Amino acid sequence: MMGQGSGGQKQLFYTFNLESHIPEHHALRGIDRCLDLSALRAHLAEHYSHTGRPSVDPELMIRMLIIGYSYGIRSERRLCEEVHLNLAYRWFCQLGLEDAVPDHSTFSKNRHGRFRSSGTLRWVFDEVVRRCMAAGLVKGEGFAVDASIIPADANKQRSITAGEPVDWNSPALSTRAVREYLEGLDEEALAEAMPKRISLTDPQASWTAALGGPAFFAYSTNYLIDTTHGVILDVEATPAHRTSEVESTKTMVDRVEARFDLLPEKLIGDMAYGSAPMLAWMVEKKGIEPHVPVWDKTQRPALTSPRPTR
């Protein structure tokens, strides 16, 4: 006999256990077991007032951002909607069914405000690396370095070529990205050469054709990876320029050495990292054995002994 929903009077009381509705092998359970944000409030203490109304829990916002990164949710507005609707997301964020989800504007204000000024996201990253080290997943014997091209949210139509006049004080260009670009120019005093094309939306992005197709505005995400288990030890964002990518290696190696007391015996990279100044820095300044790939007869990369620096 065909069933039919009651559609009648709703129950007056419900018994609902959110924990029991999350599958045991759900990815967020694995992340939660390895995530320890107990020291986050102490890290952020000096950036909050001791008076006034209570703010949104910073751990809640970090957990929501982790969900966004893990599931490719780039929009903060959509992220708040998904956490509101998804039971697994609510569980990971330690929210009950009746708890309110922060407004999307709260993320923007904190991410570009106290989270940036306090280096909170870098602090979370470093804590994850330390937990990987404690679990024996990082050996520090060999590091690999490489970069990925990330398209910028900038259109060619909103750009100028080098030498074209532009009024940077125009209200139409008064965006956060432009303000940060101008502040950077004041600090660096135009130390670098003027790029061929500048985006009026995101001036720090580089005009590049690195992927072989039409040129576009982009950044490079540079990774320093421990080769034993593929754990990313450091990340540095730069304009999509080969020189900046190679120079970022020095920044990452120095930072990992300072923060984790790790200095590899070998550093592996592609041929772009095999310039004489870079090899000299690795050997003479750091005592690292560089390994650069060459092309064998089958046109596949293979690691070889380091080239002489002189």
Higher pLDDT, 208 or 305: 208
- Report d(CA 282, CA 290) in Å as an integer: 7
Q: Tens of pLDDT along 5-39?
A: 666 566 667 777 888 889 999 999 999 988 889 89
Evaluate if residue 251 carries a pLDDT over 90.
Answer: yes
**DSSP β-bridge partners for residue 289:** 266
Evaluate if residue 249 carries a pLDDT over 60.
Answer: yes
Mean pLDDT value across residues 270-293? 83
Evaluate if residue 205 carries a pLDDT over 70.
Answer: yes
Higher pLDDT, 63 or 272: 63
CATH 3.30.420 fits 137-152+206-310, yes or no: yes
Q: Tens of pLDDT along 81-107?
A: 999 999 999 999 999 888 999 988 888
- Report d(CA 226, CA 191) in Å as an integer: 33
pLDDT score for 114: 83
Instruction: Tell me what the pLDDT averaged over the chain comes to.
Output: 82
Q: Give the domain ranges of the chain.
A: 18-125, 137-152+206-310, 158-204
Q: What are the structure tokens assigned to 14, written together?
A: 């419900």
